[in-house]
Amino acid sequence: MLRRIPKKRALAAVAAVMGIAVWQAPSASASVPLQYTTHRYVGSAVAAQYLASEPDYRAVLTREFDNVTPENEMKWGTVEAVRGQPDWSGADAIVEYAQRTHKTVRGHTLVWHSQLPDWVSALPAAELRQVLRDHITTEVKRYKGKIRAWDVVNEIFNEDGTRRDTVFHQKLGDGFVADVFRWAHAADPAAKLYINDYNIEGINPKSDAVYDLVKTLRRQGVPIDGVGIQAHLSIQYGFPAQFRENLTRFAKLGVQTAITEADVRIPTPPDAAKLATQADYFGRLWDGCHAVSRCVEFTTWGFTDRHSWVPDVFPGEGAACLFDENLHPKPAYFRINP
């Protein structure tokens, strides 16, 4: 059941100069934390190393959010890079932090073709199926009762709506998706189970494929509870068409939706106009989620530009988060937290 927290009074503006020209940011300490402004879970992806080593990072995360998603610490390539030698240290640290600070956890991710150990890809089909089942069962049971929702399968479609040609699809066929949801449910019947993907914010061939798959799985009695919409956006492209309509059609299937990895990258360096457009995009994501009752979560992929993945993947773009490198809130923060 969603947290029901009354909205606090609006923040008072206190000037703090951001590291770019023109725009001045109110102090983060003067703001009402994001977690108190909504009836949705409000979260951020988090890295265990920064949580442990940067007190200011930890303080903002603790103040602003009531849900955390491990960035890499629960992926197969991290938890079992070498077969039979599991490493749960990072995942355990994030779950323990969440319990200590009364936050929920989104588990990310059980099945993904990327960040996959080489030894998994080399397995023959029968062994792969058994190893996949063991991996899901072991990880979900380890955190049983501590994970609110899992991204069970991640990024299984191409842009045209066809199945991505992964090792799982090659060796196990289309049916592996239903299997992994059943295995995860058996390991923790209380956790909400999601399919998660990018470029499915609006209505397009890829989101149509996700919609058709979810509809089919539901008809088959497969325990799928939701659709995770990553929402990695760029102001260089238009805002996704029919975003609210897309959320609504998934809701009509009887499943939840969640914004799971939101960020909005901009051409660097940022300026007031670019930041205003970024704020508009974040606001439209936030408002769209709040317009659909079954959209239950708004999570960003990191909250500070200090540690954003964007510049490494998209040269010439960055500044994609709600807070700048110095942890000052940006216009986007105040657009969703007026």
The set of catalytic residues is 155, 261
Residue type, 37: T
3-state class (DSSP) for residue 69: strand
Bridge partners of 259, per DSSP, are 229, 298
Burial code of 302-331, b = ≥16 C-beta within 10 A, e = fewer? Answer: bbbbbbbbbeeebeebbbbbbbbeebbbbb
Going by the DSSP 8-state scheme, the letter that residue 312 receives in this structure is H
Q: What's the per-residue H, E or C state across 266-285?
A: EECCCCHHHHHHHHHHHHHH
* Cβ count near 3 (within 10 Å): 14
Collapsing DSSP to helix, strand or coil, 106 comes out as strand
**Burial class of 29 by CB neighbour count within 10 A (0 to 12, 13 to 18, 19+):** exposed
CA distance 186 to 296: 23
